[in-house]
Amino acid sequence: MSIASEIVGRIETIGTVPTSVAQVFGLVNDPKATGVDFERVVRPDVGLTANLLRCANSSYYRGSREITSVREAITRMGMRRVFEVAATASFAKAVPEVLKGYDAPAASYWDHSVAVAVLADRVGREVGFTYPDLAFTAGLLHDLGKIVVANWLDANPAIIVKPGSLLDLELEQELFGATHAEFGEALCQKWNLPKDIGGAARWHHAPADAPTATLRYLSTVVQVADEAAHQAGFGEATGSAGIEPEAFERLNLTEERLRVIVETSKPEIARTQELLAQVSGGRPARAA
């Protein structure tokens, strides 16, 4: 059995996504979905309901009255925030305290993931992407494959890799026969997430190779957001290859406009980090 196959085999030990969370994924990217649809999915999930009520009553919202129902929480927070809380509550359990090989504490991992999500959403809206909420989801989950690799390394302590060395994609390929991008797609498939989410994880380092036009565009949005987040100081600074001119051309975006997007997005990144830190159990490393 190849190392890549062994790593994929370890996905079974990472856990699963609750059915309610998988349904929320579908709803947030459905333009016809309503608050009633979200309430129907969320209410039977006791854990998710508790997280929503805690967040809706947190200092982040500073509401004048206590929120006591799912419907009130959805009204106060909005359907997008419901998705963010649902996703974070599920995925935080899978993130190890430190991602071996990437030299990334869980807080730094979330710091970067949230920044990429917000920037992917903003870039997607700027360039007229048809499904901006899909861009947010893809950005938030683009590095799931690093969790898969770190999980496998934890189970194989005899295998030593230099901290931070796996930020080099070529070294990942050399050591494992695949990269975290491919493992991320495998985890998305295991969790029954939308195909485009797994596809964006698979192709965010090589969007030109994605098999469909929509996936090439989405993967490019995530790639640009990923690199912009690195350059802005969200997450590990090394391993950033820079944004290729073809990416700007594909999105009809300029470097100057991207700089403006990053600067104006920082308050939203910080607010989102603040909220999701309450769910993930730890505050992000820092906000630039």
pLDDT score, position 194: 84
- How far apart, in whole angstroms, are the C-alpha atoms of residue 252 and residue 190? 34
**Residue recorded with tokens 């861009």:** 135
pLDDT reading at 282 higher than 60: no
Q: Tell how far CA 240 is from the center of its chain.
A: 17
- How far apart, in whole angstroms, are the C-alpha atoms of residue 65 and residue 57? 8
Q: Taken in order 107, 227, 240, 28, is the CA torsion positive or negative?
A: positive
- Taking only the tens place, the pLDDT of each residue in 26-58 is 888 788 889 999 999 999 988 889 888 988 888
By mean pLDDT, which of 44-58, 101-115, 145-159, 237-251 is the weakest?
Answer: 237-251
pLDDT score, position 205: 94
> Mean pLDDT score of the chain, rounded to an integer?
87
- How far apart, in whole angstroms, are the C-alpha atoms of residue 221 and residue 140? 12
pLDDT band at 237 (very low <50, low <70, confident <90, very high): low
Query: 104 in helix, strand or coil?
Result: strand
Is residue 229 within 8 A of residue 115, CB to CB? The reply is yes
Superfamily of domain 3-280 in the CATH hierarchy: Hypothetical protein af1432 (1.10.3210.10)
Query: 99 in helix, strand or coil?
Result: strand
- Taking only the tens place, the pLDDT of each residue in 163-205 is 778 888 888 999 999 999 999 999 999 988 889 999 999 999 9
pLDDT score, position 284: 42
